[in-house]
Amino acid sequence: MKQTLPKSFDVLGNIAIVNFPREKHGGHRPVYPKEGQDPKLWNEGAKKKFAQKLLKEHKNIKTVLEKSGKVKGRLRKPTTKYLAGENTKEVLYKENECVFRFNVDTTYFSPRLSNERKEIASMIKKNEDVLVMFAGVAPFSIVIAKQSKAKRIVSNEINREANKYAKLNVELNKVKGRVEIVQGDIKRISKKLLESVPPAHPKSPAHSRSQIDKTLLKKNFLDNSVLAKKSDSVDFGATNNRAKRDKFNGFDVIVMPRPQLKDTFLEQAFMLSKKSTRIYYYDFCKVDESDLIVEKIKQEALRAKKKIKIQKVKKAGEIAPYKIRLRVDFKII
C-alpha cells in the first residue's frame, strides 16, 4: 500500500509549507510508515524524509515547514513547524509584478489569491478611492496600486506585525504616494475613516535597483530596520495632528478578503460606502450554499438601509473538501 501524499504544499519564495494528512489514531509513530500500515499516518521521521526529498527535487526551495495548526482569529496567525533546510520563516515572495516580504508565522498571506488580486485590480477605474479591509501585508492594496489607476488605496489591518511588513512592502513596490497603511480595528476606526479621506502623500523618490538590493530586499530586514519601530508605524489616530482634510462621502470601491469569522463586517462596509460603491465581499461556505451567503448580504443591506444590486457570484477557490471561498460582487444603488 502506497503512503498517502501530503494534502498540499504551498511555495512562498524559497519556503515550502506542507499540509500533511492528519493522523487518525493520535500520537507519534517511532518508525517510518511501512507497507501495509495505515497510509494516513505520518510520523516525524516520515515528514523529515519528505522534506529532504522536496529540497532535493526543487532547487528553488531552501526551507521546508509543516503547517501544524489552523489559521485562527482576526490576526490570522498561522502555525508552522520547521522540518528541513534553512531555519527561517521570513519570505520574499513575488507575484503580479510585485514583491512581498513577510513572516509566515506572524502574518497571513495566501498565494492562492494571486489571481483574485489581479482580477480585482483590473476592475478598478481611474481616480477611484479604494479601501482594502483585512489587508494583511498589503498584497491586494499593492497589486491594485501597481496595476490600476486608482487615486489612492487605504489598506486597513488590525495585526501590527502585518502592518510593519505592509509598510515595508509599500516601499519595496514604490507605491508610497498611493497606498496608506491604516492600523486598527475597522469597527473602531470606520467613523474616523468616514470623516475624511487620508491625504495623498507626495510622490516618493525613485529608488535604484542597487539601493533596494542592499536594504529592502536584505534578509530579515524588518528586524533591524527603522520600519520595525513602533514609532514609525502608521496609525490612523496619529493623523489628527495633520492638516485638516477634505470631507468625503465614501469609498468608490471596498475590497473585503475576510478571514473565516462569524462577523461579516458588512455594517462597517456599508457605513463607508456611498451610492455607486462597488463591494467585493469574500466569505466561506459549502459548495451548495452560495445562495445563503447572498441572502445574508441582502439582509445586512436591509438593516443598513442600503439598496444593493448583486453583480456576480464567483467561486474563488476550494479550501477543504466540499467547502469553498466565495466572492460576491455587489453595488450600492
Give tens-digit pLDDT for 4-31. 455 567 888 899 988 877 654 444 443 3
Q: Where are the beta strands (DSSP E) in the chain?
A: 8-12, 15-19, 63-72, 77-85, 90-95, 98-103, 129-132, 152-157, 179-183, 253-256, 278-286, 308-320, 323-332
Specify the pLDDT at position 2. Answer: 46
Specify the pLDDT at position 46. Answer: 85
- Give the mean pLDDT of 98-127: 95
Confidence of residue 259 (pLDDT cuts 50, 70, 90): confident
- Give the mean pLDDT of 45-63: 90
Q: Do 168 and 222 meet the contact criterion of CB atoms below 8 Å apart?
A: yes
pLDDT exceeds 90 at position 295: yes
Q: 200-240: per-residue pLDDT in tens?
A: 544 444 444 445 445 555 555 555 444 444 433 444 444 44
**Total Cβ atoms within 10 A of residue 155:** 32
Percentage with pLDDT > 90 across the chain: 57
Specify the pLDDT at position 246. Answer: 57
Confidence of residue 69 (pLDDT cuts 50, 70, 90): low
Q: CA 267, CA 302: separation in Å to the nearest integer?
A: 11
Average per-residue pLDDT in the chain? 82
Q: Which residue has the higher pLDDT, 69 or 317?
A: 317
- Give the mean pLDDT of 32-41: 46
Q: CA 191, CA 264: separation in Å to the nearest integer?
A: 17
Q: CA 234, CA 245: separation in Å to the nearest integer?
A: 17
Q: Which residue has the cell 476550494?
A: 318
pLDDT exceeds 70 at position 169: yes
* Structural domains of the chain, with CATH: 8-88 (3.30.300), 110-332 (3.40.50.150)
Specify the pLDDT at position 215. Answer: 53
* Phi, psi for residue 115 in degrees, rounded to 5: -70, -35
**Total Cβ atoms within 10 A of residue 261:** 14
- Tell me the β-bridge partners of 65: 17, 82
Q: Do 253 and 130 meet the contact criterion of CB atoms below 8 Å apart?
A: yes
Query: Cβ contacts of residue 262 below 8 Å, gap of 6+?
Result: none
Percentage with pLDDT > 70 across the chain: 73
